[in-house]
Amino acid sequence: MSERLNDEPQHPKPALPTRRDALMIGAGLLAAPLVASVVPAAYAAEARASVGNGPFPAHAYGATSATSTLGPLQIERRALAPNDVLLDVLYCGVCHSDIHTVRGEWGPTPYPCVPGHEIIGQVQAVGKAVTKFKVGDIGGVGCLVNSCSTCESCLADLEQYCLNGFTLTYASPDSSKAGHTLGGYSDKIVVTEHFVIRIPPGADLPATAPLLCAGITTFSPMQHWKLAAGQRVGVVGLGGLGHVAVKLAVARKADVTVFTTSPGKVPDAKRLGAREAVLSTDTAAMKELATKFDLLISTVPEAFPMQPFINLLKLDGTLVNVGAMNPLEDVHGLGLARTRRSLAGSIIGGIAETQEVIDYCTTRNIKADIELIRIEDVNGAYERVVNKDVRYRFVIDMASLKDGSQPRS
Ligand SMILES: [Zn+2]
Ligand SMILES: [Zn+2]
């Protein structure tokens, strides 16, 4: 796929009619009044002028080291290749992974780091071979922006398990040019069309953004382990991922229990449709629920003792970890073996499945509970995420970046 991205010169001569023809810039913008109104005309004109002549500058917010806060940066986006889509970013969710990566908590991070992988944007320009989008459409970008497209996993629509290494939306070696990828805390992003999700008309755009990571990450294991109506499922951790997991499981008519360490979240769990919320620190309550669950989905972003949860699984039950990406703690061999339990992991989802969860949620009016913030408030938002003080996802209104905002302490 990297060959495909580079099959056109990166610095085409601006006056070439063929190149002008190659970009259907502006076409359809006037024909789509609903979405065109999202982007000011002057700004759209600037975007039209800035692409097609090679790499172009974009405004972003990012960190320059593991200990620095996020602030304004100027970055460069690549010129559009034939299969590329240029999105004017409207909204971007704040995922806990952003914080882990910015702070170098998941291994060395390349800086500057521009995070953001819950991106909703409006198509500003498309390459000549693009068929999935036209200018003015709304597109979404999740955690992946490229993969090899030829391996067994990619051919099975499982790009998240690409055997040759996928390209993450940020802080990943960039397969299209030198350097590393820069994410959605930015006013513009260029992504190959296969990795851009169609956002259906009528979607609540800011509240749909988190579904591109939190939604697919919890939807995918429910699909793979075939969570069915009436089955008992436990959601461990009620945060950005967990609250979407509850909504998705309730939509499948599963019998949902939430496990949390925050007493303040118990009423929320019930409001979201869970049968009950259990404080996982309550050992008596945990003991009472032994061998009751078909499926547990753990969304907790740090390792924690897992055996008390494994004990809740019935025969052939599975605990799927989608949150902790560091060494797991306290898993007992006999505890797994005695009822043929499985401990499994799952990471985001493929592009087809991400489209499926977006369509599924839009049809059923399932969306994230969000707090919309301006970009200059992102550092404070990070602290609140770490302190579990968000109900339940921050989403950045990227119009605030276009104001040239400085970070607020
Ligand atoms: Zn994420
Ligand atoms: Zn692959």
pLDDT digits (tens, 9 = 90+) for 355-372: 999 999 999 999 999 999
How far apart are the CA of 29 and the centre of ligand 1, in A? 31
DSSP label of 69: P
Tell me, what amino acid is at 318? T
Q: Is residue 324 part of a domain?
A: yes
Ligand nearest to the Cα of 118, by number:
1
- How confident is the model at residue 409, as a pLDDT? 56
Q: Is residue 63 part of a domain?
A: yes
How far apart are the CA of 160 and the centre of ligand 2, in A? 8
Same domain, 146 and 50: yes
How many whole angstroms separate alpha carbon 278 and alpha carbon 258?
6
CA distances from 363 to 60, 180, 193, 208, 367 (A): 33, 36, 23, 12, 10
How far apart are the CA of 209 and the centre of ligand 1, in A? 11
- How confident is the model at residue 53, as a pLDDT? 64
Same domain, 52 and 159: yes
How many whole angstroms separate alpha carbon 306 and alpha carbon 367?
29
How far apart are the CA of 117 and the centre of ligand 1, in A? 6
Same domain, 274 and 168: no
Same domain, 173 and 41: yes
Q: Which CATH number goes with the domain that contains 250?
A: 3.40.50.720
- How confident is the model at residue 32, as a pLDDT? 29
Residue 296's nearest CA partner among 284, 277, 313 is 313
Positions of E strands within 127-175 = 138-141, 144-146, 167-168
Same domain, 207 and 321: no
Q: Is residue 199 part of a domain?
A: yes
Q: Is residue 55 part of a domain?
A: yes
Q: How many domains does one find in the chain? A: 2
Q: What are the tokens at 161?
A: 């398990």
How far apart are the CA of 164 and the centre of ligand 2, in A? 5
Burial of 284 (0-12, 13-18, 19+ CB in 10 A): exposed
How many whole angstroms separate alpha carbon 382 and alpha carbon 139?
26
How far apart are the CA of 310 and the centre of ligand 1, in A? 25
How far apart are the CA of 181 and the centre of ligand 2, in A? 18
Same domain, 145 and 271: no
Domain boundary among 308, 330, 345: 345
Q: Is residue 409 part of a domain?
A: no
Q: Is residue 202 part of a domain?
A: yes
Same domain, 297 and 248: yes
How far apart are the CA of 145 and the centre of ligand 2, in A? 12
How many whole angstroms separate alpha carbon 228 and alpha carbon 253?
7
- How confident is the model at residue 264, as a pLDDT? 92
Ligand nearest to the Cα of 175, by number:
2
Same domain, 208 and 223: no
Ligand nearest to the Cα of 115, by number:
1
Please answer whether residues 395 and 245 qualify as being in contact, where contact means their C-beta atoms are separated by less than 8 angstroms.
no
- How confident is the model at residue 178, as a pLDDT? 84
DSSP label of 63: B
How far apart are the CA of 354 and the centre of ligand 2, in A? 17
How far apart are the CA of 309 and the centre of ligand 1, in A? 24
Same domain, 166 and 36: yes
How far apart are the CA of 93 and the centre of ligand 1, in A? 8
How many whole angstroms separate alpha carbon 143 and alpha carbon 119?
9
How far apart are the CA of 233 and the centre of ligand 1, in A? 22
How far apart are the CA of 260 and the centre of ligand 1, in A? 20
Ligand 2 is an ion; residues with CB less than 5 A from it = 147-148, 151, 154, 162, 164
User: Reduced to 3 DSSP states, what percent helix, strand and coil does the chain have, rounded to the nearest 5?
Assistant: 30, 25, 45
Render each residue's pLDDT in the chain as its tens digit; 409 residues: 333 333 333 333 333 322 333 333 333 222 222 233 334 444 444 545 455 568 999 999 999 999 999 999 999 999 999 999 999 999 999 999 999 999 999 889 999 999 999 999 999 999 999 999 999 999 999 999 999 999 999 999 999 999 999 999 999 999 888 899 999 999 999 999 999 999 999 999 999 999 999 999 999 999 999 999 999 999 999 999 999 999 999 999 999 999 999 999 999 999 999 999 999 999 999 999 999 999 999 999 889 999 999 999 999 999 999 999 889 988 999 999 999 999 999 999 999 999 999 999 999 999 999 999 999 999 999 999 999 899 999 999 999 998 766 777 5
Domain boundary among 345, 361, 378: 345
How far apart are the CA of 55 and the centre of ligand 2, in A? 27
pLDDT digits (tens, 9 = 90+) for 167-190: 999 999 998 888 999 999 999 999
Q: Domain range holding 31?
A: 2-212+369-402
Residue length of the chain: 409
- How confident is the model at residue 40, as a pLDDT? 44
Residue 209's nearest CA partner among 323, 360, 86, 94 is 94
Q: Is residue 62 part of a domain?
A: yes
- How confident is the model at residue 404, as a pLDDT? 63
| Three-state secondary structure call for residue 375 | helix
How far apart are the CA of 94 and the centre of ligand 1, in A? 8
CA distances from 280 to 228, 236, 238, 308 (A): 25, 9, 12, 9
Same domain, 157 and 269: no
How far apart are the CA of 197 and the centre of ligand 2, in A? 18
Q: Is residue 364 part of a domain?
A: no
Ligand nearest to the Cα of 94, by number:
1
Measured on CA atoms in the order 147, 103, 218, 137, is the torsion positive or negative? negative
Question: Would you give the distance in Å from CA 47 to the centre of its chain?
Answer: 25
Measured on CA atoms in the order 234, 239, 245, 247, is the torsion positive or negative? positive
Q: Which CATH number goes with the domain that contains 99?
A: 3.90.180.10
Please answer whether residues 402 and 59 qualify as being in contact, where contact means their C-beta atoms are separated by less than 8 angstroms.
yes
Please answer whether residues 235 and 299 qualify as being in contact, where contact means their C-beta atoms are separated by less than 8 angstroms.
yes
Ligand nearest to the Cα of 160, by number:
2
How far apart are the CA of 152 and the centre of ligand 2, in A? 7
Same domain, 87 and 133: yes
Same domain, 157 and 274: no
Please answer whether residues 338 and 360 qualify as being in contact, where contact means their C-beta atoms are separated by less than 8 angstroms.
no
Ligand nearest to the Cα of 147, by number:
2
